[in-house]
Amino acid sequence: MNIKDNAQAHIKRRSLWHWPGFETIEEKASIGELSDKIGKNKVAKLDLADYTPAMRALHQILTGTLIYSTQRKKDLPPPTFTDRDLKEGLRRSWTAELIGHLLVKYESEWYADEALSKWNEIDELFEEEKRQQKALIEAGLDELGITEPYLRDFALDVVDEAHEHVKSNWQLEKAQRIKPSLWWKQVAQAQAQNPTANTDANIPKLSNLSADGKAWFIHPVAMMDYFKVETTKLWHEPLDNPQRTYFSSNGRNFYWNGAFGYVRNQGAKAHTGLDLFADINTPCYACLDGEIVQYKEEGGYGNVLVIKVKGDDLRASRNDYTLEFTDKDKKEIVQADNFNINADHFFLRYCHLSDKHADLKVGDKVKSGDLIGYTGDTGNAKGLCNPHLHFEIAMKKNGNRTHTGNLQKDRLAYKINPAFFVNLQTKDEAKQTKVKERREKR
């Protein structure tokens, strides 16, 4: 495209402020004012009129998108601009998208004077925060009927000690991290003194950094999503055309067959992976780049191959799956309570594999899409009418179990629902029925 002015009159050049779906906000509150208001909003509901422009915009998004979920949970207050509701909103793609489309103009954290005046405003907030915490503690002591002066003094002294520690760390934070990071003013001054010469009329002129440290800040992920930038996904499906099993092991058709969670025996029994229909000797593939860390027989799981993969690769492969089964007697879940999605590594477990091996051994590196083996009916899947790959994503290569006394919950430990990564296809009822009937005749 020729970007010279008036070169193509039918094409209008528009700034990003004109993009539909984006909202521009000028945040005029200082760091101290913003910190003060956010702090007050934690201990008591701040009047909406006292919100800063950015707080008001976030409040509007959160109340508009989370109201129905909080209504379903009667113990929760209506959503507003709080840490809890902000975290809840960021977990939901439609809310996170709206937040990402806020274009906010404010003073950069990398801009400040030599004395760190704007950051010093926060110093004054520590005493007010301490006073608020003491008031809450005293109210709690009153409610518990604790009147002894030595007990009350002890509780309040702990607050004093904690705040002294926090204030000391804050001074170190300013001196050792914030002050060395203040590059904005230096760069802006250098740009003003040495403007960049631009002799090519087809190239737009670069804008200098503002002298006052203020700029528009845009979330790059929101821009990528808006423009539908195609990104290369590393994820490869464990099987061609992955689909959950149409039949259970005893030949019955339940639409929740093969799902992850409390989906068996009217919700009383857990299923620890995703059962993907696969006739015997169906090729299996590495879902991500990784290393073979186990390739052996493992009891009821039969022949098991385990690939250790990078945490970042798995997180980048998450799809937009939503839970299909949420009834009490068939409750699919997202993950175990102790599964940590931010771990450095994860383990992909391929179970019930055939004795027909790929030419691999423990320690071998594999790439996404590499052939790693073939499905079978080993372990407790032997002879079943619904041959399948039992696929797990876990935090350990094996032994993913706890011992709390809750047997079914213990079995799900350290695992996440693979359906959030495997892109499930529609069940091929005819094909699965044909395989079932053939195996029942043996």
For residues 192 and 210, what is the distance between their CA atoms, to the nearest angstrom?
10
Question: Which has the minimum average pLDDT: 89-93, 145-149, 232-236?
Answer: 89-93
Per-residue model confidence (pLDDT) at position 45: 61
Question: Which has the minimum average pLDDT: 31-45, 106-120, 122-136, 192-206?
Answer: 192-206
Name the percent of the chain lying above pLDDT 70: 84
Q: Which tokens belong to 247?
A: 């039949």
Q: How confident is the model at residue 302 (pLDDT cuts 50, 70, 90)?
A: very high
Classify the C-alpha dihedral 294-295-301-307 as positive or negative. Answer: positive
For residues 244 and 347, what is the distance between their CA atoms, to the nearest angstrom?
21
List, for residues 308-329, the tens digit of each pLDDT value.
999 999 999 999 999 998 888 8
- Is 88:58 a contact under the CB 8 Å cutoff? no
List, for residues 281-299, the tens digit of each pLDDT value.
999 999 999 999 999 999 9
Neighbouring-strand partners of residue 347: 308, 394
For residues 97 and 99, what is the distance between their CA atoms, to the nearest angstrom?
5
Per-residue model confidence (pLDDT) at position 55: 85
Identify which has the larger pLDDT, 76 or 217.
217
Per-residue model confidence (pLDDT) at position 62: 80
Question: Which domains can be identified in the chain, with CATH numbers?
Answer: 16-226 (no CATH), 261-440 (2.70.70.10)
Helix orientation angle between 53-72 and 93-100, rounded to the nearest 10 degrees? 170
List, for residues 188-208, the tens digit of each pLDDT value.
888 888 766 555 655 556 678
Residue 72, pLDDT > 70, answer no
Per-residue model confidence (pLDDT) at position 11: 54
Identify which has the larger pLDDT, 259 or 67.
259
Give 67-124 as a 3 state SS string: HHHHHHCCCCCCCCCCHHHHHHHHCCHHHHHHHHCEEEEEECCCCCCCCCHHHHHHHH
Q: Which long-range CB contacts under 8 A does 160-169 form with residues at least 24 apart?
A: 160/130, 163/126, 163/129, 163/130, 166/126, 167/123, 167/126
List, for residues 36-69, the tens digit of each pLDDT value.
887 777 656 667 788 888 888 888 888 777 665 5
**DSSP readout, 277-297?**
E--TT-EEE-SSSEEEEEEEE
Residue 228, pLDDT > 60, answer no
Q: How confident is the model at residue 30 (pLDDT cuts 50, 70, 90)?
A: confident
